[in-house]
Structure formats: structure tokens, C-alpha cells
Structure 1
Amino acid sequence: MPETPKIRVLVADDHPGFRRGLTALLASEPGVEVVGEAVDGREVVEKALTLSPDVVLMDLQMPGINGIEATRLILRKEPRVGVLVLTMFEDDESVVSAMKAGARGYVLKSARPTEVLNTLGSVARGEARFGPEIARRLTGFLADPGPDPASAFPELTGREREILDLIAAGRDNASIAARLFVSPNTVRNHISRIFAKLGFSNRAQAIVRAREAGLGRDG
């Protein structure tokens, strides 16, 4: 009977003590092989692309590229790799950002070793799995109807919010001007004030923030 191949794991964490302890835990498991370690975001991306692990155990807060961006970069080129986030952060933003980046699992560093190993096995098999605390947060987040666009960005005037809504819907300045029966120059002036009030540096940032607030759905 052929031997079951070991789960090849790459460990990414910038804290030496935690990284060594995690590596020792994984090395004690007969079905797991630690193929490498990384101490920052750039290194984990490079090693993930050269070592071809089955699973990357990913910390979120690392020097250089953070774990979310590193996950996104890895999966863009190696979508078969399973990313399991192992972090101390359990806030909704971190969890949802990790999911959007493509992580298959999310476990807190305070979890028991058995939970980490079980989740690792699930992620290696292509399943999505989250620790119980994270699962409860996701349930609450998904049950939340989301932001009310009408209450978004109270510092904007009604016309400015209307223009930001159209920007979030993907309309360009000429289209917005035609829609509102104003000149393109008037639209540009409104956009300049919107960006100044909200601290946006470019149109892409404005679109992302506005869509997160619920704008751009009906434009």
C-alpha cells in the first residue's frame, strides 16, 4: 500500500520563539513536513513560489508586506497553495480581508495545538475551515445587513455623496456630468472637495472605500 504523502508546510512568522515552537509542533507530526520558514512578507512569497508547499501558515503582521498582501500575491501565481492564517488578530476586518485574499483557514495563536493541526489537515485537503471563535465572528458578520449607504460619509453634502455614489458605480467624469446635467468642470471641482474631505489620494481608493460603505450599487 503506497505511503500517504506528507503535507508540505511553509511557516511564516516574524517572532523567532513562536516560529520555532510552531515548527517543532509540526515536525512532531508524522504526516507533516516543514519545507521552510520565512520571517517577513517578501520572503514568504518568494519561498512559496520556489518551494511549492501544500500549506502556508501565515502570520498577518510581518515586516514589509503584511500577511494579507502576501496571501494575495502567492495565490495569484500559485492558486493551489492553501493559506492558513495563524494570528492573534480576531477582528472582523482582519478575518474578512484574509478571506477576500483567498485564505482557506483562520486560527488564533491561542488555539490548542490539536485545533491548529486539524485545521491544517483540512486546508491541505482543499477545505475551508476556521477556528470556533472565528466561525462565530463570521456568522455574525454575514448576518449583519451591512452599512446603510444613506448614513455613509456624513461630512459630504447631498450632491457630493451623489457624485461619490456614481464614482463607486464606475462612471467617469463625463458620464457623471451628463447624468447630473452639469459641466465636467463642476464634477471635477466636486471630486476635488470629496477627496479633500475624506482623505482619498486617488480614484481607486475612493471606489473601494465607497463600495465598502454600500455606495455604487445602483449607479
Structure 2
Amino acid sequence: MIIKARAVQEGGAMATASTPFTIGVASADTLALRMLRIILLDRIPEATLLWCETTGRAAVEHCAKDARKPDLVLINLVLRGLQGLNSCRLIRRGSSRIKLLVMQTVPDAHARDKAIRAGVQGLVGKDDDTVLVNAIRSIAAGGTMDGFDTAPHAHDALVGQLGQHRGQHRGQLTKREMEIMDMIAANMPAETICATLGISPETLRSHRRNIRNKMHAANDAQAVIDWDAAEE
């Protein structure tokens, strides 16, 4: 698989592969996590590994906290609990800065299309360490693989398109309400939503009531059905 990444300017200066950056890694495969640690240490010395996780929920929570928020998240399609692309969508919805690179054993067109819609910057295979290293460096430097968009543009597109579509049919949900609906639809428990967003249980209950009223839903289950239908 050939990586084709285009360089982009960030803050008026061209980013370079040697620029130090931080990275978080998520994969359900603990052996793969160990191997990725070795690759990062041996072949990408400019990268600082902030965390390794096996669940999408943990990755999303890290990306919502300033102290644990990396420049780039390397994330496998298969995770424990919340899956890779759902995790990417939540991360992208909440951040226009974090870059996302998704791994798949053998990248395919269907996964690529879904990854683009989830706001990631590239999809890469796992069978060639050199290709993976080049992809990590390219995405960290602000590049994207062919057909993918930059993190800021992907964030704006995801928030704007979903907000417009859902706003027309769901009573103008706020950005925070859309974040909460994504988390509810991903089966995140209330305590995790509160911790991720830094809100109290009472505030969450208030948001959920407002969401149900705006979506004309009798309960959360009906709201999730309508919400999922809006993504198709």
C-alpha cells in the first residue's frame, strides 16, 4: 500500500516530520500495543507516547482532558466496547486540533469511506512497519492521505453537516447536546459522559430532557433511533 500524503501549513509555517509531537494509541490487541510502543520508541524518536488503551471509551476520555490530549491518535478499527470509528467521531466532534490515523489489517474502500465521514486524516494497514511509520509522521506533520481532510476542516464539516441536518429535523440541538447524543448512542454510561464533558449528573439530566423535547422523543431509546437514522 502506497501512502500519499499532502503537506499543509499550520500557523503559517510548514510542519516537518521531525517536529516533536505527542501521540495516544488505542487497540484491542495488547500484543499490537506492545509492538507499537517499540516502533514509536525505536523509529519515531520525536514522538512522545502519552497513553495506550484497549477501549474506545478511554481514548475518548483522554482526548477530552487537556493534560492527556495528544497531537495525534493512532486508533485501531477494532476496540473493546466503543469501536474505532465511533471513537473517532466523538473525538473529532470535540476537537479540531487532534489528528486521527486509523489502522486496519487490510484497508478496504468501505472502511475508508466510513473513516472519511468520521473525520479522520488517514487509513493505514498494519502489515508494513515502514508504511505505518511514514503515515504517522505525515499525519502528525499536518498531512492527509488522499481523499481525507485536515483535522480542522473535518471538524467543521462534521459539526456543520450533522448540525444542519439534525437541526432541521431535531429542533436545533446545540453542539453540547449533539456531543451528548453521540455518547448516548455509543452506549456510554452517564458517569462516563459526565467525566468526559466535565458536567454534573444534574446538568446531564437537564440536557437529556432538552434533547428529548427538541427531538419530540418519548424516551432516550427513541431519541437514539432517530439520531442513528440521521447519520445514515
**TM-score using structure 1 length:** 0.57
1:106 aligns with one of 123, 137, 143: 123
Q: Which residue of 2 aligns with 1:150?
A: none
Structure 1 residue 94: deviation in Å? 1.3
The answer to whether residue 28 in structure 2 is matched with residue 14 in structure 1 is yes
* 4+ runs deviating over 6 angstroms: none
Do the aligned partners of residues 66 and 30 (structure 1) sit closer, same or farther apart at CA in structure 2, a change above 3 Å counting? same
Provide the C-alpha distance between the structure 1 equivalents of 2:52 and 2:102, rounded to a whole number of angstroms: 15
Of stretches 5-14 and 34-43 in structure 1, the one that deviates more from structure 2 is: 5-14
Do the aligned partners of residues 64 and 114 (structure 1) sit closer, same or farther apart at CA in structure 2, a change above 3 Å counting? same
Do the aligned partners of residues 118 and 63 (structure 1) sit closer, same or farther apart at CA in structure 2, a change above 3 Å counting? same
Q: Which residue of 2 aligns with 1:128?
A: 144
The answer to whether residue 83 in structure 2 is matched with residue 66 in structure 1 is yes
- The equivalences for 1:188-199 within 5 A come to none
Structure 1 residue 105: deviation in Å? 1.1
The answer to whether residue 80 in structure 2 is matched with residue 80 in structure 1 is no
Q: Which residue of 2 aligns with 1:167?
A: none
Larger Rg: 1
Structure 1 residue 202: deviation in Å? 5.0
**Superposition RMSD in Å:** 2.5
Q: Which has the higher contact order (CA 8 A, sep 6+)?
A: 2
The answer to whether residue 51 in structure 2 is matched with residue 36 in structure 1 is yes
3-state secondary structure, aligned to 2:64: helix
**TM-score using structure 2 length:** 0.54
Is this contact kept in 2: 1:38–1:47, CA < 8 A? no
Do the aligned partners of residues 90 and 31 (structure 1) sit closer, same or farther apart at CA in structure 2, a change above 3 Å counting? same
Do the aligned partners of residues 128 and 203 (structure 1) sit closer, same or farther apart at CA in structure 2, a change above 3 Å counting? same
Structure 1 residue 49: deviation in Å? 2.2
Q: Which residue of 1 aligns with 2:185?
A: none
The answer to whether residue 127 in structure 2 is matched with residue 116 in structure 1 is no
Is this contact kept in 1: 2:107–2:123, CA < 8 A? no
Provide the C-alpha distance between the structure 1 equivalents of 2:71 and 2:25, rounded to a whole number of angstroms: 11
Cα deviation 1:11-47 (Å, max 9, x = unaligned): 1011111110011110122211111111111011111
Do the aligned partners of residues 127 and 207 (structure 1) sit closer, same or farther apart at CA in structure 2, a change above 3 Å counting? same
Provide the C-alpha distance between the structure 1 equivalents of 2:115 and 2:97, rounded to a whole number of angstroms: 16
Structure 1 residue 48: deviation in Å? 2.1
Provide the C-alpha distance between the structure 2 equivalents of 1:207 and 1:45, rounded to a whole number of angstroms: 22
**Which one-letter code corresponds to 2:56 in the other structure?**
G
Cα deviation 1:147-176 (Å, max 9, x = unaligned): xxxxxxxxxxxxxxxxxxxxxxx89xxxxx
Provide the C-alpha distance between the structure 1 equivalents of 2:85 and 2:115, rounded to a whole number of angstroms: 6
Provide the C-alpha distance between the structure 2 equivalents of 1:12 and 1:98, rounded to a whole number of angstroms: 16
Provide the C-alpha distance between the structure 1 equivalents of 2:89 and 2:228, rounded to a whole number of angstroms: 18
Do the aligned partners of residues 102 and 17 (structure 1) sit closer, same or farther apart at CA in structure 2, a change above 3 Å counting? same
Of stretches 86-95 and 30-39 in structure 1, the one that deviates more from structure 2 is: 86-95
Q: Which residue of 1 aligns with 2:111?
A: 94
**What is the number of equivalent residue pairs in this alignment?**
140
3-state secondary structure, aligned to 2:23: strand
Gapped runs of 5+ residues in structure 1?
Answer: 139-169, 172-200, 210-219
3-state secondary structure, aligned to 2:70: coil
